[in-house]
Amino acid sequence: MRRLIIAASALALAACATAVGTEYAAADRAGYGYASTRIEGDRFRVSFAGDGATPASVVEDYALLRAAEIALENGYDWFRVVGRSLDEREKGGVGIGAGVGGGGRNVGVGVGGNIGKIGARKFYTSNLEVLYGKGAKPEGDDRGEVYDARSVIETIRARMPAAESAQ
């Protein structure tokens, strides 16, 4: 029994050690990574989906990074985020509940509730709707967040792990 506990502990520790998050790359067969779709001429939908080890802030950064790369790949200098959402879903884990019941002569009362989950992991997807433009970046505009594509790439890549930023 002791060996079984030690083996299970080692496997759990190995799983934690290898959970580094989704690498910055095109979406894989599981759907983790970036994806983009041209909606019309200068408008794209860009997303990045992370696995359960990828924090929401990284997922959002990687979606912005992909939007900036699309700008340069298509000859644009800046982009405006006109719509954004961060979707969160939870997978796995064990549900825990509690209940209390009582009753007496022809009277019954029951109370129950969900306490939560143990071991569940959160998965985040950042979705952006982006308009692209050329030339000087518009200033003082309240129609969305405007970014310089080169600056975004430089800033976000500087925060990425070395292996990923070399891509």
Averages of pLDDT over runs of 10 residues in the chain (167 residues) are 50 46 91 96 97 94 98 98 94 64 61 63 95 90 83 94 61
Q: What angle do CA 62, 117, 3 make, to 5 degrees?
A: 95
Q: How far apart are CA 49 and CA 21, in angstroms?
A: 11
Domain residue spans in the chain?
A: 23-91+118-165
Predicted TM-score (pTM) above 0.75: no
DSSP 138: P
